[in-house]
Amino acid sequence: MQKQETLLDLNNIKLYGSESEKSDKTIDAIIKGIEHKDRFPTIPVLQLSENEYALTKEHKGHHRAVGHYIANQPLRVRITKPNNSTKKEKKNLIWIGDIILIDDNLLPFNYERRKFSKFYR
C-alpha cells in the first residue's frame, strides 16, 4: 500500500540511491528550479527504517534528490514499504551526499542518451 505525498527533510534522514554519478548541469538546472519555487514531481522512495529511505533505478529521481539535498530543501516523496529483495540490496546503495557530480562535457554520449532515451532504457 502506498502512502500519501510527504516532504522529507534531507538533513534529518538518510536517503540512499542506486546511482553513484549524476550530471552536474542537470543538478544545476534543478537547483535553479528550486530557487524559482518550481514544483517537481513526487519521487517514490522505499522506507528502509524509521530514518532511512532509498531511491531505486526504476523509480528515478536521483537528480532531483541530489539537487534538493544541495539546495537544503525538503524533497517531495511518496513513501512505500520495501520488499525482501530491496532490504538485501541496501549494501549496494549510496548516500545521496556521496553521489559524484560529473561534468557533462566528459560524458560524450549523454546528449544522445537524452535525445533518444527510449532506446537506452
Residue 78: enclosing H or E segment and its boundaries?
Answer: strand 75-80
Question: Using one digit for the tens of pLDDT, what is the confidence trace for 7-24?
Answer: 999 999 999 998 888 888
Please give the residue that has the higher pLDDT: either 27 or 91.
27
Residue 39 is part of which domain span? 5-119
CATH number of 98's domain = 3.90.1530
When mean pLDDT is compared across 17-31, 81-95, 96-110, the lowest value belongs to 81-95
CA dihedral 26, 31, 37, 40 (to 10 degrees): 40
pLDDT, position 44: 92
Residue 90 predicted with pLDDT over 90? no
- Looking at the structure of the chain, the number of domains it has is 1
Q: Is the pLDDT of residue 70 over 60?
A: yes
Give the pLDDT confidence of 34-69 residue by residue, as tens digits: 999 999 999 999 999 889 999 876 768 999 999 999
Residue 40 burial (CB < 10 Å; 0-12/13-18/19+)? middle
Distance CA 75, CA 93 (A): 18
